[in-house]
Amino acid sequence: MRKADRKDVLKKRIVIQSIVFLTAILIFLAVALWMNFSRGSTAYVEKDEFVFGTLVRVVVSSEKRDPKAIADAMIQEMKRLESKFHPYHDGNSVIFKLNHATGPVTVDEETAFLISKSLYYSEITAGAFDPALGRLIKLWGFDSPDTKKRVPTSEEIAKALESSGYANVEIHSKEVSLKNHAWLDLGGIAKGYAVDQAVRLAKKIDENATGFVDAGGDIAIIGPKFGQFPWKIGIRDPRGGPQDIIGVVYLSEGAIATSGDYERYFEVDGVRYHHIFDSKTGYPARKSISATVIAEKLVDADALSTAAFVLGWSKIVEGFVGLGAQAMVIDAEGKIYKTKGFVAYEKE
């Protein structure tokens, strides 16, 4: 009987130990799940919103905070800046108020910075990037997706040119003046700035957050994929469909922007009229069909890709390397040009 009793006791101990072990595992898993829920996870969260006239996609992961909350905060930051810098809608738009002012306007520090940045790029690109083409943009109907697009008369274009061009913009500290009834349109740089600010916000919430923001093909990196791998980014074929690519680059940091004649355009008698204008002629630029720029910040890549598109391949575009940027331009005949450093981003 004693041997049997010992066996029973041994079995009971084994059962109890097993129960304790399993309970410990369950408690550990419960705590891990709670920590994951409350502090974030390594899984990527995706959020899509229509901002700055395009579909913006935020992809973010965080082990410190809830990545969904980070994505929401990033979208809200971009919407704030869209409202602030929209040139044609009243409300909270600083640019709308500037365009309709009858004299100098004192603006906030953020607005002064972005206008100064725009004028800087206008100067170094000889006006290929120009933030004061609002009159032309509205004349052609590119001020809103709902505005009817049309080819203006040469007389209308000449008149609009009289009220266009960055030479009509003056800024002294925070005081901005627009001459000759010129209108600002920061569309070629404001989206890039907004994405940069959203990325900055994500890193402020969690400095180790990773992911990217894709704003209609203009992309800024939050951090490398899973903390160690580059993101694979396709460059769209300007004469193909939305899913057709003409090249691939790999980025673990920085930003890439592409300006093309295939996003916002209309056709009349077989001629394509797009939204990127040559400030010297008042007509859509014709030297390129696509221009891609890689830079540290999207605000810079955004402005320089517009300039490269207008300029076509030239010594000025090759000079972007001195600004810390690399470029690829596809000219009107479909020939591809690249700065030497651009090739390095095509290798994984």
Tens of pLDDT, residue by residue over 259-290, are 999 989 999 999 999 999 999 999 999 999 99
Residue 145 lies in a domain: yes
What is each CA distance from 254 to 93, 273, 312, in whole angstroms? Answer: 29, 31, 23
Considering only CA atoms, give the Rg of the chain.
27
End position of a domain, from candidates 116, 150, 178: 178
Residue 121 lies in a domain: yes
- Matching residue, tokens 């004061």: 132
User: Domain with 171 in it: what CATH number?
Assistant: 1.10.3980.10
Instruction: Give the separation between CA 48 and CA 78, rounded to whole angstroms.
Output: 12
Q: What is the overall mean pLDDT for the chain?
A: 90
For 113, the domain range is 94-178
pTM confidence score = 0.87
> pLDDT tens digits for 127-143?
999 999 999 999 999 99
> pLDDT tens digits for 63-112?
999 999 999 999 999 999 999 999 998 778 999 999 999 999 999 999 99
What b/e sequence results for 250-265 when a residue is b if at least 16 CB atoms lie within 10 Å of its CB, and e otherwise?
ebeebbbbbbbbbbbe
Residue 187 lies in a domain: no
Domain count of the fold of the chain: 2
Together in a domain, 29 and 101: no
Residue 174 lies in a domain: yes
Is the pLDDT confidence value at 345 over 60? yes
What is each CA distance from 242 to 36, 233, 266, in whole angstroms? Answer: 37, 14, 17
> pLDDT tens digits for 169-180?
999 999 999 999
Cβ(273)–Cβ(281) below 8 Å: no
End position of a domain, from candidates 178, 197, 217: 178
- Matching residue, tokens 């993101």: 231
- State residue 12's pLDDT score: 55
- State residue 15's pLDDT score: 46
